[in-house]
Structure 1
């Protein structure tokens, strides 16, 4: 129940932030957006139609078609998300006038759009429209959710080129790019960890030194080198970026010929690897 309440709060905040990014930053500067809200903005500029009402109608149609592709929990959250976004857009679509700097407005619109979208996606909800299509592509075809949604957004923005003009279209693409980056950060985390694989004939000694000097847990896998036809164990450890240089020094001290592979890791479950000065970089 606590998880559900947390997701509910995230959906509400995400919908509000997303809607305000459109009505306070995008609409006053004639910027578009991706997805169904972007299409509703283009129709608003062309015919004066309410973007809130158009968003609700179009999103409801797409969401109804796509419900069968979503888990039951996502269906419930989506039923909440779709009308909330439309309501917040409708309630605030005439609040402010032109802010005078479309580039700055595009950048900050992208920040807030990405933040709101990231919160909504983190709950497992869909925003309807192209984001629901992107989620269906992810479930059925394994496509990346954020990138697929980004491509759909670009297509819709370019379709409004004749309505908002080339300059505002370019500003809109800037906003979409910023929004994608912010969405990635919200969904995957701001402080990526490093997963380090160390292949060496002295893997147990390297593991012992890492544990002794850095006070963190490591795993040693039994391995076999296919080229040299020799045993070559692998030490595996996850650290934060501040510990990387120290780890490299420890490895080179034990085995300067060790083969080291470093990967970026966004999420780590089952433990915390944040830097702790009181424990000299140990697990907290």
Structure 2
């Protein structure tokens, strides 16, 4: 009964919006704390408005939170005016406002914290992971922290460049700038941090799954199907394929297994049909019977 009530509550659009805003607030806080504990003390300008504020802090002594507000708010206004409807729906705009204002606010509140480390490599690693966790939460809340992402959208609109390329160009320019204004080492540490940030965002967004997707092409598909049912205890989907060279019809078996079931599956395929063609890949997310539940 409690589980059903919880499920109904989560499906409520108002409650869903509240959860989204909580994700944005938690994510923004994590980004700000990682910024002050790891990135700023080690002169790591890992792209975005936070990277610009790091450079200006070390070169001109400007308070990072003020710089972030000074850049984020005009960029948000420009995004609304220039991008119009393509900027996004009202909820997204509101969550972007929250991220745009709240992130620098937490940066300001936590600016007095002592550095967690003055080892640049540790700063790059843990700073990148912390920012990745924060951004992952923000994205799960279907929000944004604004900043150079909005600038990238504006450039994309006027130049036609792919949005991802615009983001890379802007962040790359900031990192290159840090090489000249701070040091080459700082720029290299920033690249490490940015790489880890991207990886952690993917983990938070997609989760960690040990499931494997196997595709099997064999002339003994019926025997294989029965063996998979009985010995691995997994369902099998049969698809129709066609050989590119021979133009012959070839059934393709698709099965999803856990990591510890994969060895059994491979041994089973090898035993029944040593000539079988087996492809195994990571299944990032799997929902359904025998795996994770939706929602």
- After TM superposition, the score normalised by the length of structure 1 is 0.84
Give CA deviations for 1:1-42 in whole Å, capped at 9, x if unaligned.
Answer: 343233222211110010011112222222222101111221
Aligned-partner Cα distance in 2 for 1:149–1:203: 47
1:71 to 69, 75, 88: 88
Contact 2:22-2:141 at 8 Å conserved across structures: no
Contact 2:212-2:257 at 8 Å conserved across structures: yes
Aligned-partner Cα distance in 2 for 1:202–1:141: 51
Aligned-partner Cα distance in 2 for 1:104–1:197: 41
Q: Secondary structure at the match of 2:182?
A: helix
Partner of 1:205: 223
Q: Secondary structure at the match of 2:139?
A: helix
| Residues 272 and 186 of structure 1: CA distance in aligned 2, closer, same or farther (over 3 Å) | farther
2:27 is equivalent to residue 10 of structure 1: no
Contact 1:10-1:119 at 8 Å conserved across structures: yes
Aligned-partner Cα distance in 2 for 1:236–1:266: 16
Q: Secondary structure at the match of 1:28?
A: coil
Aligned-partner Cα distance in 2 for 1:61–1:210: 59
Contact 1:239-1:273 at 8 Å conserved across structures: no
Aligned-partner Cα distance in 1 for 2:253–2:53: 54
CA shift, 1:232, in A, is: 1.4
Q: Secondary structure at the match of 1:40?
A: helix
Aligned-partner Cα distance in 1 for 2:260–2:166: 33
Contact 1:197-1:261 at 8 Å conserved across structures: yes
Q: Secondary structure at the match of 1:29?
A: coil
Partner of 2:101: 83
2:141 is equivalent to residue 123 of structure 1: yes
| Residues 98 and 218 of structure 1: CA distance in aligned 2, closer, same or farther (over 3 Å) | closer
Partner of 1:282: none
Aligned-partner Cα distance in 2 for 1:56–1:99: 26
| Residues 272 and 126 of structure 1: CA distance in aligned 2, closer, same or farther (over 3 Å) | farther
Aligned-partner Cα distance in 2 for 1:88–1:149: 24
Contact 2:125-2:196 at 8 Å conserved across structures: yes
Contact 1:29-1:98 at 8 Å conserved across structures: no
Give CA deviations for 1:197-250 in whole Å, capped at 9, x if unaligned.
Answer: 111222232122111112222111133334334331111112222222111112
Q: Secondary structure at the match of 2:253?
A: strand
2:63 is equivalent to residue 50 of structure 1: yes
Contact 1:200-1:258 at 8 Å conserved across structures: yes
Q: Secondary structure at the match of 1:103?
A: helix
| Residues 144 and 255 of structure 1: CA distance in aligned 2, closer, same or farther (over 3 Å) | farther
Q: Secondary structure at the match of 1:169?
A: helix
Q: Which runs of 5+ in 1 are unaligned?
A: 275-284
Q: CA-atom RMSD, angstroms?
A: 2.7
Partner of 2:172: 154
Range with bigger deviation, 66-75 or 175-184: 66-75
Partner of 2:7: none
Aligned-partner Cα distance in 2 for 1:132–1:242: 44
Q: Secondary structure at the match of 2:234?
A: coil
2:75 to 50, 62, 80: 62
1:254 to 264, 268, 272: 272
Aligned-partner Cα distance in 2 for 1:192–1:132: 35
Aligned-partner Cα distance in 1 for 2:99–2:59: 26
| Residues 121 and 227 of structure 1: CA distance in aligned 2, closer, same or farther (over 3 Å) | same
| 1:194-273 equivalences in 2 (<5 Å) | 194-273=212-291
